[in-house]
A and B are shown apart, each in its own frame.
Chain A
């Protein structure tokens, strides 16, 4: 089944304790992206990747890191989480980033993170 898989789905952690949210897709998609969703603010892009070893900042990158060493994986790293990073996180992928018809995103099921 074609899908984007995120783990963990739920996590409660404490301020400053490094964590990684994994994201993996099995569709050979070039484009991958991380979003956070907060009430009243909608989905905001954190980081995205156009292809292996090509990553760039989205709208709200502060406090996050990413890497794209393999096409299928795009982990999100919180080096020193803070309470304002409490949110619902979605990883998404699409076949490719170019062209008007390309932005059909497949989302993972989401990771609900609470930072105390």
Chain B
């Protein structure tokens, strides 16, 4: 089982749609969680950190369920510019606070 698993997609949605991605992680000792966005052939960039209480940044909402070991990202009112790959990233802790990256979920927002 992969340490961090994501549905690779692609998710093809129309503009204005609401779309949700889930990510599961296997290490129950994982300490912190993030969503990164990666545009085609570009570097990943931090989208948002994920807190236990859930957090929202504009159209984006991230939630963490420690009991079930999954993280979610909800995007409301999708824009064409949201088209990208979304990477789930988990800090599995330990002396070096190692990050494990999921393989990403591809979102394509259609006009």
Contacts and interface: CB of A to CB of B under 8 A. Distances in A.
Interface of A: 35, 40-45, 48, 50, 56, 88, 90, 97-105, 107-110
A44 B44 CA distance: 13
B99 A103 contact: yes
Given A43-B87, A48-B96, A56-B96, A107 B101 contact: no
Contact of A42 (B32, B49, B97, B104): B104
Interface of B: 8, 31-32, 34, 41-46, 49, 87, 89, 91, 96-99, 101-104
Contacts of A43: 44, 87, 101
9 contacts: A40-B8, A40-B103, A41-B103, A43-B101, A44-B101, A97-B96, A97-B97, A103-B89, A105-B44
Query: Which of B44, B49, B91, B104 lies at the interface centre, i.e. has the most chain A CB atoms within 10 A of its CB?
Result: B44
Closest 4 CB pairs of A and B: A107-B43, A42-B103, A43-B101, A100-B32
Contacts, number: 53
A110 B42 CA distance: 7
B101 A110 contact: no
A102 B87 CA distance: 18
Contact of A100 (B87, B91, B104): B91
A42 B101 contact: yes
Contacts of A44: 101
B93 to A, nearest CB: 9
Nearest to A39: B103
Nearest to B88: A42
A97 B93 CA distance: 10
Nearest to B96: A97
A37 B47 CA distance: 19
